[in-house]
Amino acid sequence: MTKQSQPTQRKIKVAASILAADFGHLAAAVDRAEQAGVDRIHVDVMDGHFVPNISIGTPVVASLRKVTSLPLETHLMIDEPIRYLELFQQAGSDSLLVHVEGQSNLHRTVQAAKDLGIGIGVVINPATPVDAVDAIIDQVDQVLVMTVDPGFGGQALIPSTLAKVIALRDKIDTAGLQCELSVDGGISPATAPEAIAAGADVLVAGSAIFRSESSIADAVDALG
């Protein structure tokens, strides 16, 4: 049995992932999520190379920027994201998330984002060891653990990924770092307590919010 992180008084934040929203009524969905009290909007960008799917790009981010005052967190599931940092910043992203996998120089990418004055976080896939972020964790604003394989919404959380959350929580707390620890994938009212107990600060949820049988407000409340 995996040892859980010690409970704390951390403020838990919710990021609404629009990948699960109705793109035909995206502005309305984002507005309802904002009214429900989510803390930020999570935008998944996929290029068909780093992950099999293709999703959205800068025009959608720019459109979202016009309809919400919430922070826009853009998750770049793309090869060599350094090429697109400035474009997404100009479109209205408040922070960017880049994978430790799929790029040739993670340090250069993180520094490029910092030079733009935009928030930057790193992401690890389920198969990636947590020590992949050791050399960069003190330079980023967020570490996000994929709790499913990236590229598709609506998957079930992979239980073994919670051990990575526990390990990263320990690294962050031991070093006295201020970076957030997020989880993304399979987050629901059933799994959110496990993720929080493991040490997550931020819950990225899509299907649990936008495809719930209850209202978006009730769905957000159910995440705790």
105 and 140 Cβ atoms separated by less than 8 Å = no
98 and 106 Cβ atoms separated by less than 8 Å = yes
Q: Please name which of 17, 55, 56, 57 lies closest in space to residue 33, comparing C-alpha atoms.
A: 17
Active site residues: 44, 184
56 and 48 Cβ atoms separated by less than 8 Å = no
Alpha-carbon separation of residue 149 from 34, 127, 152 (angstroms): 27, 9, 8
Rg (C-alpha) for the chain, rounded Å, is 16
- Looking up tokens 């959205």 gives 56
122 and 138 Cβ atoms separated by less than 8 Å = no
